[in-house]
Amino acid sequence: MLELINDFNVLTAFWMTIRLALWSSLFALIIGTIVAIMRLSPVGVLQWAGAAYVTLLRNTPLTLIILFCSLGLWGQLGVEPASRTSDTFIVDLNFRLAVIGLAFYHAAFVTEAIRSGVNTIPVGQAEAARSVGLTFAQNLRYIILPQAFRGAITPLGNVLIALIKNTTVAVAIGVAEAAYALRNMIEFRPDVILLNFLIIAIGFVILTLPTGLAVSYLSQKLVVRR
């Protein structure tokens, strides 16, 4: 088992998985929050655009989005988020394209999670904020979003766990993460297929289980008492 892990750089592969997950979740949170604000705004066009974004991204298979990032975004449209002069051009490019795909896809779920968090807030909170004289933006920043995030920790955690596992789709555009290691293991060591799967599965459990526990802890600790 240790021999397999060493031969196929499983630890390096999982480090790549972690990096993918961290960057993707960071950007997904930012994009998802922006889209959620659009959906909450009193401007019809923004609401519509936010709803359209969620509908489109949430209902498109992730593999399609990741492949589009590589073949469409980079291949056709020429979006090149890496420097050609860099020694690690291809690795950087594929990694960043995968982050873009993962972030935009999961942002749709982040938006819905935040919206569910907003729904936990009694209407009177926003009314009180308005009657104190806060503007719409101040109301969002100081009253609505802080409570929405705290009410959305569980669904946000679910999105994060799904995102960690979904990083495996990045193998489709050649990012050397855990599923990439698994593919090599299956190709070169077909004699221990079950062990190959087991190693990668355990690796993901090590990542997702503590995440789930942390989410449960935080959702209890940060719950807004009413």
Partner 1 sequence: MQVGSVPTMTQEPSTATSTPLVVLSGVNKHFGDLHVLQDINLTVHEREVVVVIGPSGSGKSTLCRTINRLETYESGTITIDGQDLPEEGKALAQLRADVGMVFQSFNLFSHKTILENVTLGPIKVRGMKPKAAEKHAMTLLERVGVAHQSKKYPAQLSGGQQQRVAIARSLAMEPRVMLFDEPTSALDPEMINEVLDVMISLAKSGMTMIVVTHEMGFARKAADRVVFMSEGAIVEENTPEEFFTNPQSARAKDFLGKILTH
Nearer to partner 1, 120 or 158 (CB): 120
Question: Which of 18, 6, 50, 3 is CA-nearest to residue 203?
Answer: 18
Among 75-83, 143-151, 160-168, 213-221, the segment contacting partner 1 (CB under 8 A): 143-151
Per the document, the length of the chain is: 226
Q: Which is nearer to partner 1, 76 or 131 (CB)?
A: 131
User: Segment 150-179, which members bind partner 1 (CB under 8 A)?
Assistant: 150
Binding-site string for partner 1 from residue 117 to residue 136, where x marks contact by CB under 8 A and - marks none: -----x-xx-xxxxxxxxxx
Which of these ranges, 109-117, 140-148, 154-162, 200-208, lies near partner 1 under the rule CB under 8 A? Answer: 140-148
- Taking CB under 8 A as the binding criterion, the range among 32-40, 106-114, 175-183, 218-226 that sits at the site for partner 1 is 218-226
Token pair recorded at residue 81: 């988020």
Minimum separation from the CB atom of position 63 to partner 1 (A):
40
Cα Rg for the chain, rounded, in angstroms? 20
Nearer to partner 1, 86 or 135 (CB): 135
CA pair distance 52, 54, nearest whole angstrom: 6
Question: Closest CB to partner 1 among 52 and 222?
Answer: 222
Query: Looking at 2, 3, 42, 45, which residue binds partner 1 (CB under 8 A)?
Result: 42
* H-state helical runs in 78-192: 89-118, 123-132, 136-138, 145-151, 153-166, 178-188
Count of residues interacting with partner 1 (CB under 8 A)? 23
Answer yes or no: are the C-beta atoms of 33 and 114 closer than 8 Å.
yes
Q: How many CA atoms lie within 13 A of 94 on its CB side?
A: 15
The one-letter amino acid code at 133 reads G
